[in-house]
Every structure is written in structure tokens, then in C-alpha cells.
Amino acid sequence: MNTIGTDFRITLFGSSHGPVVGCTIDGCPPSMSLETGMIEEELILRRPQIGIGTARMERDHLEILSGVREGVTTGAPITITIANMDVDSSKYLRFRTVPRPGHADYPALMKYGESHDISGGGQFSGRMTAAMVAAGAVAKALLATVNVEVGAYTRSIGDVVDGEAHPFGQLVEERRVNAVRAASPETSKRMMKAILAAGEDNDSVGGTVQCECVGLPVGVGEPFFDSVEGEISKMIFSIPGVKGVEFGSGFEAARMKGSEHNDPYSVLEGRLITDTNHHGGVLGGITTGMPLVLRVAFKPTASIGQEQRSVDLGSMSETTLRIEGRHDPCIVPRAVVVVEAVVASVLADLCMRGGFLG
Amino acid sequence: MNTIGTDFRITLFGSSHGPVVGCTIDGCPPSMSLETGMIEEELILRRPQIGIGTARMERDHLEILSGVREGVTTGAPITITIANMDVDSSKYLRFRTVPRPGHADYPALMKYGESHDISGGGQFSGRMTAAMVAAGAVAKALLATVNVEVGAYTRSIGDVVDGEAHPFGQLVEERRVNAVRAASPETSKRMMKAILAAGEDNDSVGGTVQCECVGLPVGVGEPFFDSVEGEISKMIFSIPGVKGVEFGSGFEAARMKGSEHNDPYSVLEGRLITDTNHHGGVLGGITTGMPLVLRVAFKPTASIGQEQRSVDLGSMSETTLRIEGRHDPCIVPRAVVVVEAVVASVLADLCMRGGFLG
Amino acid sequence: MNTIGTDFRITLFGSSHGPVVGCTIDGCPPSMSLETGMIEEELILRRPQIGIGTARMERDHLEILSGVREGVTTGAPITITIANMDVDSSKYLRFRTVPRPGHADYPALMKYGESHDISGGGQFSGRMTAAMVAAGAVAKALLATVNVEVGAYTRSIGDVVDGEAHPFGQLVEERRVNAVRAASPETSKRMMKAILAAGEDNDSVGGTVQCECVGLPVGVGEPFFDSVEGEISKMIFSIPGVKGVEFGSGFEAARMKGSEHNDPYSVLEGRLITDTNHHGGVLGGITTGMPLVLRVAFKPTASIGQEQRSVDLGSMSETTLRIEGRHDPCIVPRAVVVVEAVVASVLADLCMRGGFLG
Amino acid sequence: MNTIGTDFRITLFGSSHGPVVGCTIDGCPPSMSLETGMIEEELILRRPQIGIGTARMERDHLEILSGVREGVTTGAPITITIANMDVDSSKYLRFRTVPRPGHADYPALMKYGESHDISGGGQFSGRMTAAMVAAGAVAKALLATVNVEVGAYTRSIGDVVDGEAHPFGQLVEERRVNAVRAASPETSKRMMKAILAAGEDNDSVGGTVQCECVGLPVGVGEPFFDSVEGEISKMIFSIPGVKGVEFGSGFEAARMKGSEHNDPYSVLEGRLITDTNHHGGVLGGITTGMPLVLRVAFKPTASIGQEQRSVDLGSMSETTLRIEGRHDPCIVPRAVVVVEAVVASVLADLCMRGGFLG
């Protein structure tokens, strides 16, 4: 369903080619400053960048319909809508009978039948992530009140991998200034090149996003089931195109020995820390006070300009289709702020549940 | 918290060194056959195997306290308890002040305070997974009524990786007969060797589990948020030691081109299929009818016999600790049936929610 | 919080003096006909009636923002907004320091603090019930697909009590044509008189609503906790002004003997029925197939024109206040369609959960 | 389903004639004192009293299976079982084909089919309330840590009505010493007589329970939907035999004028109070700091010794049945502590959600 969260609860609505996408955020405490500009700033990071993005220009006109009075939250649910524009639904007609490979067309048509709104992907569209980013902006504002900060960046595009560690302050700064949301100007250029190359081939390319969170207190997370990793990954998999998520050492941990992987405890300025951070800031589903670190794998954009094999569902005969128009050859740069929004939303919820907020 | 699921709902209780661990399963339809033996058979797969396992012998004496009458479910909640035995709590006393690296001791003590039951890991113990396996046995019985089957195997132990594809029937068979739950006798031997080597070094080793599910109808999953991947991964991260989860091509997708990754549709015996399965049986959070495929990364067992650095929380001074007794040098083989249980539980819930069951 | 329901889930938002009130309905199946007119028709029943209502004229301009395409549901969440108009917030300023007796002002100010939006009652306003009615219209359309129908009427206003039984078809018809939503023209006149008399005294008067539901299958309701009565009454108490709810014989049952109260079973046209309906259509929290019958008690409108004693929260000194403007001397007639909406919404949810719908 | 509550969450299990009834309480904070004796004391109040109760003797042997170590909660879920004894299921066989009037037999058989465990009412048995009382004992202990106290008493049995107001301390004391749980010795005698008279006629009689709660802070309750009244009444309707619930003035409010009903605010010892308490301690779904007052209507026990008309479901022909054995001619006195348990459980949950506890 379209609602997630316990104490900080988000309900999404809208579809790609309807009048709006939007969200209702329930549980946000009263008296918090919340300006339209704070949300717009986040939405800008999600917009396609000239040269590498889709041709669809979204101005992201947003409205706060409830829950905020004179720039301050009232304690009532906050509803935000973002208008859809520049919509041409006609070219989606064919996909009702010939589903696009890699898209949700086929299972969605089987589940929702004739009435499924396939235009622009309907409820399965990446457009829904604009509403997630709006909710994330509220979550970030809330976390900021207790000095918790979330920052993500593009860690890899195809074979271009940024394996370096980046100081948190620097990655947050840098990822706002380059179009691929990379953590350094050097990798930014190489990633840009990989994306443009894919686009020139009428192809697309995947990548990974790394997300970090600093300032979390010890003890966030509600095991057994509502662990930090479990709650985050549940929502992360709602982002279209995600194929995997890992925390700390992640899949690399499977190749390690316990003597390497265990992070020894030591004391720094009177505070307990771990010398390494293979655990990624969570043990037993609860934060340890070390930075939370996770990585998310995105598949290459499913919409590509090349001819692809599919099946006509009416006649159940094999056929081919070509998706027209320009498409993002890589969604990863735009997904960076979406991953941030998800992580912020989940942490806001878990911080509220644990009594660390509000 | 300790309840998960919407229509097929599991509540866990108990702790490692209390009288029992157990679960209550709510929503299981009436008139389903459920014998104690079916649950015991699954629990056997979770037991430590001679030579590689822990010395703690758990006979897993189980009782069905409610919801079943004369081997048939009544529609009322099913409560199952598994008695704990062979318990020596004294050796855990020290960890109340000197937390074990890689364990939940430190954040749990900070969150729950003095009263946290640290013995055997308390509520964070791998022992809780016995209750998950019991719930999973009920879920499997339920899925079997619509011919859905779940099977997992050890895909890697440290550097020993089984990259082969295995026919589903074969892997299900094979993983029951060898101690490491590998999909073939050859890899089984090499994995066993890796585990024994780690044990001889007073060390431990990680690994990965691959899980597959066949027979699923098209349309299971309740997006936007209650996607198949999201629901599964949320519960997967409750299993102690999990660091990552990926579906279909997973993290490999991040390196691929769209033209490689998109699975073309074709027709086989009048049914729509995809020629490849990079999508892993899910698109847009909904099953496509192709086999569901996922992989889970486990870190090396945190309890190792070597001396480790930690901190005395009382004096906030650095110290060392050595964990006594024998410990599983690798939990992966025992986790295979736990992953199956989780996947079965989540799919039972989503199948019920989608009207495919009960 | 502002979300209710499991399979048919409603999220409310907005406030009395913000731009809109609205709701998102999640879980409504695809392919159902849903026209704006169907919702407007219900909203008309909630409007103040000339002569007895408030002077605030609400045209209830509504918009369906998502989930409906060309008059048919798509399976995606349905978001409906109803614009607020004719708003004068200035007169509410005083209530921030001098709370109105019988209103939520005092506890809301204590809970949400300075930022609480007190204008028009904010989130506690009867205006929120417009959004409930909109959601109820969707629920009614859904129930109609399986021939379940909900109808309510004003059973009493002050001392004017309509103790008669009314054939369902007749009460549904009649309650739409008279301004007090009574089940017969005679009582309508006497109730109207009671309301006008209260208004002339600058006073208000309470009353009760009776709601019935016919066509329900046997077996709706999900005990132990999610009983028909429990689910309905939870949502009923969200309607401002409700003080009690009873099913079937209700409080009268407390005075009865078992031999009178037990409804004997008999057979009518091959179907099991009960000869009487003291149980009100529910036993053990599950529907029996007999008409569901409930009654809801409403207190007199809290806003009255007479001077009332209150306290200035700033100086903590006793004072008086007089609420200006015209107010509904009785909300009961307008609450009739709200009670219907609530009962329809809950039954739609329980019917979906029980597999009777969609 | 069988789980209720958000932050203080109760899962019930068991059935009347299975080995146990029990509950799991999730969310209870660590470090709270919890002894078996505290729960037993509450269960004693639920036991049938010599002379007026059923002949079934339940010794209520209880066990705490998890969540408590050395008399102190650990923060892990608390599971409590209460053994069933003295069970004779044979006499329930006939009700599988000839449902008892006033019981859940008929709808339960239609919903759960052949496998429904009808013995002793199965999951619909009043026996389930023993588990509710156990959970309530935990909730009471938790509320006591912030000086919130819940007390109930029998307000009426048939025509014997106790319309007096009773000081809270006195009613709590008195209702423990007389068998009908009345608030004064005088009414106790008259109520006892009414119950015995019904029993002598092989009949039964209904009644009402009044419940009060003192010490609540201002601001408990989570509107719009999770109001104090809504949350309490949802759980109250799970108690077998409940037909109505009302708060404060309740149904009487429907006959009142606003000028009578509105409770004027005044100041007492620097604290805001209301002079009267028609609102019953809640406005807008949130507590006002005045005593919470509610009344619950119970129907007469459905099991009576007289011959009753029913239908044989096999042949669909009318027949009669007589329920053998001795039965409670009135469940109201035993329900008093159950109502207390429900109110305490819901308030514990809402206090936790509002940040007033733990």
C-alpha cells in the first residue's frame, strides 16, 4: 500500500500523468519551521541535468495544502502536492498490449487489469519519487533539530567506481555542485563520460549510491523486526530500479574473517567509538553512534532507444518494440537525493519511536 | 517491535537463556494440516552440524499451544514454543561492562539499560531464529497448498563461491543432505574445509545464501511501499549477521547496460516468460511469474576465540576480552533454512493480501 | 493519527481554515465507476439546511487529484480535496487564551502548543467530516458492487424520540427529503421545532442517529480485536460530538433477561434468520447476515451564543466568554451522512479483509 | 486479528479448551517490577464467586515465559500463559450443527468452517478475557509508575442501578470486597439478589460497568482517528457480551441542551478544572486532566438453562436445544476487572505514544 512509517508516517498519491503527485506526512511535531523553499531546494537535486537527463522539463510547482501555517508546522498532517506538466500520454498506448522489458507494465496489467493507468508508468513511475523527496525534505528538517544529517553521492556508474572514503562535509558539499552528484570533481567527469557514452548508443547504464548519516544517537532502531537496516531497506526498494542494498561492509563481509570484520572498541575524547566501521553504524538493528553507511544498487534505466523483443498480450505472439523519445541514460544521479529522502524519512520515524525527537 | 506481517502475522517472543523462544502466527486459515513433525523437520536444518557447529546441543523440544486441533489449524492464532536447554549464563556477566565487538551488547545496553538480558545475547541471539523457522514451517505448508515452493542454499563461504545455476529441484534436495547446505557435493566439501580452517584459527568466516521461489503467480506484491523486495528485505535484516540483500542481478546490475539487463519477453507453451532473469522475478515490486531469486550476505560470526580490543563501560578505559567456549565458525549453513523461513513468511503474507491464498 | 483501515485505508488531511480538507483512499480496487457527482451528492446531505444550519456557506468544491481516470478507478490511491471558503479566522484569536467550554481548545493547546491551528477548530473541526463523507462515498460505491447498503436517520433530537422501526427502503428515501434527516415527516416536524426552539434560546440540543446496513454476508469481521463493533466504534468516535455508541439492543440489553434477549434461530425461505434482532446483526464480532443496527449519541453543539464561564490561560484567572456569530443549534441532522460514511468505510475495509470484495 | 496497540502492543492466543490462553505484551519498557503475584491478584477478581458463578473452577495457573528476569522487565516481549483445566468438550459437539442463540457459533462456523474449535466457545470464549486481564495487570503496573490509576465497578444489574457518584478511592476499595464488584455494600446485596433470582429461573441478567481513571495528564490521545474514546471502545467491544459504550454524559447527552452540557472552566489550586464532568475527561479525543469516565453495557449471559429455539444446520430444519450444566447467570461482576484491564491497556499505549511514559 501507499502508507509507510509508524510515528512519522508518509502516504503517497498521484501518478505520472495525472494532475499531481503528492504526499501526506503525519506525525511531524508542531512548531517546526517549514518553508516551501526548503522542499524546492531538494527537488532541484532530483531534476534531470542538461545533457544527461530526459527532455521532460518538470518545473516541480509545489503547494503545501495543510499542516503548515505561516511557515510553521501545526501538528496536523502536512499535505504537499507537486503539479505534473508537459505530459504526452499517447505514446504509452502501445504498452498496454506490448509490455516494455524491464518495466512494471506486464505484472501491473495482470494485477490491476484494464484500468491500470500505464501512462508514464502510472503509479510505478519514477515521478513518484518527487513526492518521496518532498517528504524527505520534511524529515531532514526534523532531523536537523537534533543535529542528525544525511548525505549521499553517486559511488559508481557502470564500471566507474569511486572506492574512496570522503569526509562527510565534503561529500555533502560536492554532490550538490556537479551534475552526476559525485563526491569529487574527478570521478564526476569520468561518470559523466560513461553516461553520455551510454546515451549515444541508445543504451543506458546502472550504478550505485552511497548514503551516510552522521549525528545519530546510540539506540535508534526497534528490533526485533523494526531494525534500522530493515526499515530503511523496505522503503529503499520502493525506489524504481533498485536491485540491492547493503550496510557497512555489505556483501564484502561475506568474504571476510571475523578477526578482520569485528570493529574493536576504543575511547575517543571520553566517548566509545569503533576504530573501523565495518558494521556501518548498526549492530543488532540498533545504531551504535558511529556513522550509518549504506549502498544501494540501481539497474540501468529500462527505457532505451534500441529495438527490444516483447510479446503482444492480445495475440500472445512475439513482437518487437522501440521506445521513442529521449530518456535518462542513467537515473543514478537523480536517485541520490531520493535515497537521502528515504533514509531521512525512516530515521525520522525511528528517532521519534525511540523518543529521540519531538 | 516483535510483530511483522499484515494478513499472515508473526509475533516473536522469548530469549536465548529464558525458558523458551516462540512465536504466534495470526491469520493462518483454518483446515490446514499442521503436524509437529513438519516444524521439527525444518528445525533440524537449523541445528549445528557435528564438526562445524557450536557445542550447545539444542534438542528443540517444541509445543503447539494453540490454533491447532488434531493436526488441523482452527483459524485461531497458532502459538509455538521451543524450549531452551543447556544454558550457562555465568560467562555472559563480563559483557555487561565490556561489550563484545560485532555483537549488539553495546547499543542494547545503552537502549535498554541495566535490565537488558544479555545472557546468550538475549533478544538479539541467533536463538530467536529458531522461532522464525517454526513460523516459516507454517508459511511453507500454506504456500504448498497453492504449489509455491521456497528453497535456499549456501552460495559462498569466504572465498569459496558457487556461481553455478542449479535446477530448483536439485538444490532443494541436495541442500538437505550436506552439512553446509551447499547445492552440490563438490562445493560442499570446499566450503566445509573453509569453515574448519577458520575454526582452527579461532576465527570465523562469512558467506552468502541464495534463495529461490518457484510457482508464484503473477501479481504478488502491494506497491508502492509493500513491494516483494521491500517486505522480504525488511524481515531478512532481522536475521542476526545480515549485511546485504539483492534481487536478480543485484549489485551486478550497477555495472550493466540496459540492453544487457532488460529481460526480453517471449512465449513458451502459451505462457509469457522472460528469456533471462536479471529482474529476479519482480518488476515494480510485483511478481512476474518467473522464479524469485535473491541473495543474502552474512558477516563472519562475531564470537571468535581470539583476544579482541574493547572498552570497560564502567571506567571507560580500553581493555581486551576473549570469548570462551566453542562457537560456530560460520553461521551461514544454519542460516539457509532461516532465509527460507523468512521468504516463505513474507510471501505467505503477500499472497494472502493479494487474494492468492486462503 | 490520521490514517485508518487495513485493506481500505483512509488518510485525512486539511483543517477548517486552511485551503482544503481532503482524504486519500488506498486499496480501492481498479475498474470501479467513480464520478465526482457521486461524492457531491453525499456532501449535499452534510450541508447546513436553511433555517437550522450555520450561516457559513460551503459550496464544497471538490477535486479528484489521483486514482481515477475517465470516471473509473485505476487501483492507485484516490486523493480528493474539498476547498474551504468563506473563512474568517480573526474571531478565533481569543480562544487561544480563553478556551471554549465543550471544545477541544484547551487540551489541543496543551498538546500542540502555540502552533496549534485553532481557527475554526483546526484539525478538530466538524469540517473534517466533509472529507470523511467523501471517503464514505467511495466506500458506498464499493459496497454497492456486492449489494450492501448503508442508511441512517435522526432517531432523536433532545426529547423528541422516534422509537419506531422503519423499513430500510423507506428510511433511506425519507431521510433525504427532510431537513432534519428524520425517518418520517411527522417526527421531522417535531424535531425541527425542537432545533429551532434551542436556536431561539441561543442554545443547542443533542440527539441520536440510528444506522442500519442490509445485504451484508455472514462472516464479516476479524476478531478477536478487529470486530465489526470495535472497528466501527473506533472510527465513530472520531466524529466530533459523539458520546456513545451501541449495537442492537445496546444499553437496553443491560436491563434484559437472557430468555428475552437471545434471538431464536429459524428458517425463512431456506435461509437461517433470527426472529428478533437484539444482537443487531453481529455475534462474536462477526456479522450474522441479519441487518446491522447501531445508534450513536451526539452531545449538543458546544458553540452556543450564551455567555459561558472559562479561564484565561495566560493569567490563570476566571473569566467569561461569548461565542459570536451564528452556529448550528444541532449538528445531528448533518451528522447522519457522516455516520453512514463511517459505517460504510469500516464495512468496506472489513469486507475486503474477509475476501467478500475486490 | 489478535494483536492490538501501537507502542504497548498485545497479542492474544489460546482458546477455551486448548492447553492455555495467553498473551504477548510488546513495548513494555525495561526495568519495571513485575511479579507473578501482581497478575494473579487481578485474575482472582475475574474468577467466578461461590454462589453466583459457574461451576468450572479455574485455578489460573500462570507462567511468565519471557520478558521478565528476576521480577524485572528486560525490554523484550513479555509472554504470559494461563493453563486451562477442568475441560469437558463433549457437550459442545451438538452446537456444531445446532448453534446456540446469542453465541458466536453460527457466524463462526460459517466463517471458519468445519475446523472451527467450538469447544467452550474456542476463540470466542469469555476465557480469552483471562489473558486480557493478565495484559491489563502489566499495563496497570506501567501506569502506576506515573500515578495513573484505573478502577471500575458494577453500576447496574438488570433493574438494580447504582446512580450514585462514588469517590474513586472508595470504589476501588469496595469493589474488591464484595462478590458482585459493586461500589457499596447496599447495592451489592440488591444486585446479588437479582443475579440469584435469574439463576433460579434458569435465566440470566445483563448489567453495566462504570470505569474511571484518575491521574491522567492533559493531552493523552492521538486524533484524528486514534482518540481516547475510539481506542478504548475498539478494544472494549472485544469483550464478549458488550453491546454499548459511552463516555461522560453518554447517551444522556443526546437529551441535553448545550448550556447544561458544556462544562465551565474554573481554577482550583492554580490548576484548570471543569466544574462538572459531562465531557468525561476527553475533548476532541484528548484527555483534559479531569477523571476519565465511561460506562459499558453487557447483555445477559447467552447460555441459559431454558429450552431455546434453533436450527439444525445440516438439515436446515427448526429444532430446540437446552444448554446443560451450570452457567454464570450474570457475567457483569467478572467483567469489571476485564473492563479495567482494557482501559489500562489502551491508556498505557496512548500514554507511551504521547511521550508520557517510558
- CB–CB of B216/B289 below 8 Å? yes
DSSP 8-state class, residue A101 = T
Most confident residue range from B84-88, C93-97, D136-140: D136-140
Which of residues 123 through 162 in chain D touch B, CB cutoff 8 A?
Answer: 123
pLDDT tens digits for range D252-299: 999 999 999 999 999 999 999 999 999 999 999 999 999 999 999 999
pLDDT for residue D89: 74
Q: Do A65 and C79 touch (CB under 8 A)?
A: no
Of A158, A301, A311, nearest to B265 by CB-CB distance is: A311
The stretch D172-197 carries a mean pLDDT of: 94
Residue D155 DSSP SS3:
strand
Q: Residue A317 CB: number of other CB atoms within 10 A?
A: 9
Distance (Å, rounded) from C-alpha A258 to C-alpha B266? 46
| pLDDT confidence bin for D58, thresholds 50/70/90 | low
What are phi and psi for residue A17, nearest 5 degrees? -110, 10
* Residue C70 contacts A where some CB pair is shorter than 8 Å: no
Give the residue from A15, A234, A350 with the most B CB atoms within 10 Å of its CB, the best one to mutate: A234
Residue A206 DSSP SS3:
coil
Of C128, C156, C280, nearest to D254 by CB-CB distance is: C156
* Residue A6 contacts D where some CB pair is shorter than 8 Å: yes
Out of C119-133, C175-189, C280-294, which region has the weakest mean confidence (pLDDT)? Answer: C119-133
* Residue B110 contacts D where some CB pair is shorter than 8 Å: no
Percent of chain D at pLDDT exceeding 90: 85
Q: Residue D96 CB: number of other CB atoms within 10 A?
A: 15
Instruction: State the nearest Cα–Cα gap between D115 and chain B, in angstroms.
Output: 5
Give the residue from B3, B7, B350 with the most C CB atoms within 10 Å of its CB, the best one to mutate: B7
What are phi and psi for residue D300, nearest 5 degrees? -65, 145
pLDDT for residue D339: 98
pLDDT higher than threshold 50 for residue C73: yes
Residue of D nearest to A8 (CA): D353
- CB–CB of C101/D263 below 8 Å? yes
Q: Do A24 and C26 touch (CB under 8 A)?
A: no
Q: Do A248 and B243 touch (CB under 8 A)?
A: yes
Instruction: State the nearest Cα–Cα gap between C284 and chain B, in angstroms.
Output: 13
Q: Do B115 and D31 touch (CB under 8 A)?
A: yes
Residue A6: list chain D partners with CB under 8 A: 6
pLDDT for residue B86: 66
pLDDT higher than threshold 80 for residue D223: yes
Residue of A nearest to C29 (CA): A112
* Residue A70 contacts C where some CB pair is shorter than 8 Å: no
Instruction: State the nearest Cα–Cα gap between C272 and chain A, in angstroms.
Output: 37
Give the residue from C155, C203, C210, C233 with the most D CB atoms within 10 Å of its CB, the best one to mutate: C233
In angstroms, how far is CA B117 from the centroid of its own chain?
A: 23
Distance (Å, rounded) from C-alpha A257 to C-alpha A261? 6
Residue B73: list chain D partners with CB under 8 A: 115
| pLDDT confidence bin for D52, thresholds 50/70/90 | low
- CB–CB of C310/C101 below 8 Å? yes
Q: Do A11 and C24 touch (CB under 8 A)?
A: yes
pLDDT by position in tens, chain A (length 358): 999 999 999 999 998 888 999 999 999 999 999 999 999 999 999 998 755 555 455 567 999 999 999 999 999 999 999 999 766 777 888 898 999 999 999 999 999 988 888 777 778 889 999 999 999 999 999 999 999 999 999 999 999 999 999 999 998 999 888 999 999 999 999 999 999 999 999 999 999 999 999 999 999 999 999 999 999 999 999 999 999 999 999 999 999 999 999 999 999 999 999 999 999 999 999 999 999 999 999 999 999 999 999 999 999 999 999 998 778 999 999 999 999 999 999 999 999 999 999 6
* Residue C93 contacts A where some CB pair is shorter than 8 Å: no
Q: Do B309 and A284 touch (CB under 8 A)?
A: no
Task: Round the average pLDDT of chain D to a whole number and report it.
Answer: 93
pLDDT for residue B55: 47
pLDDT for residue C92: 84
* Residue D170 contacts B where some CB pair is shorter than 8 Å: no
Instruction: State the nearest Cα–Cα gap between D67 and chain B, in angstroms.
Output: 7
Residues 6+ apart with CB under 8 A from B293: B210, B211, B212, B247, B248, B277, B280, B281
Distance (Å, rounded) from C-alpha D332 to C-alpha C254? 9
Domains of chain A and CATH, by start: 3-353 (3.60.150.10)
Instruction: State the nearest Cα–Cα gap between B181 and chain C, in angstroms.
Output: 39
The stretch C165-179 carries a mean pLDDT of: 91
Percent of chain D at pLDDT exceeding 70: 96
pLDDT higher than threshold 90 for residue B122: no
Q: In the structure grid, which three cell numbers stand for residue A43, read together?
A: 527537488
Residue D31: list chain B partners with CB under 8 A: 113-115
- CB–CB of D129/D101 below 8 Å? no
Of B221, B226, B267, nearest to A316 by CB-CB distance is: B267
> CB-side exposure of B352: number of CA atoms within 13 Å?
21
Q: For chain C, what is the HEC assignment? A: CCEECCCCEEEEEECCCCCEEEEEEECCCCCCECCHHHHHHHHHHHCCCCCCCCCCCCCCCEEEEECEECCEECCCCEEEEEECCCCCCHHHHHHHCCCCCCCCHHHHHHHHHHHCCCHHHHHHCCCHHHHHHHHHHHHHHHHHCCCCEEEEEEEEECCEECCCCCCHHHHHHHHHHCCCCECCHHHHHHHHHHHHHHHHCCCCECEEEEEEEECCCCCCCECCCECHHHHHHHHHCCCCCEEEEEECCHHHHHHCEHHHHCCCEEEECCEEEECCCCCCCEECCEECCCCEEEEEEECCCCCCCCEEEEEECCCCEEEEEECCCCCCCCCHHHHHHHHHHHHHHHHHHHHHHCCCCC
Distance (Å, rounded) from C-alpha D183 to C-alpha D194? 16
pLDDT higher than threshold 60 for residue C54: no
Distance (Å, rounded) from C-alpha A139 to C-alpha A78? 12
The stretch D189-212 carries a mean pLDDT of: 96
Residue C285: list chain B partners with CB under 8 A: none
Give the residue from C24, C63, C82, C238 with the most A CB atoms within 10 Å of its CB, the best one to mutate: C24
Of B258, B287, B301, nearest to A258 by CB-CB distance is: B301
More confident residue, B280 or D15: B280
Task: Round the average pLDDT of chain B to a whole number and report it.
Answer: 93
Instruction: State the nearest Cα–Cα gap between A337 and chain D, in angstroms.
Output: 31
- CB–CB of D18/B65 below 8 Å? yes
Residue of B nearest to C8 (CA): B353
The stretch C131-140 carries a mean pLDDT of: 98
Residue of B nearest to A236 (CA): B230
Q: What is the β-pairing status of strands C292-298 and C242-247? A: antiparallel
pLDDT for residue A55: 47
pLDDT for residue A358: 67
The stretch C279-297 carries a mean pLDDT of: 98
pLDDT for residue A51: 59
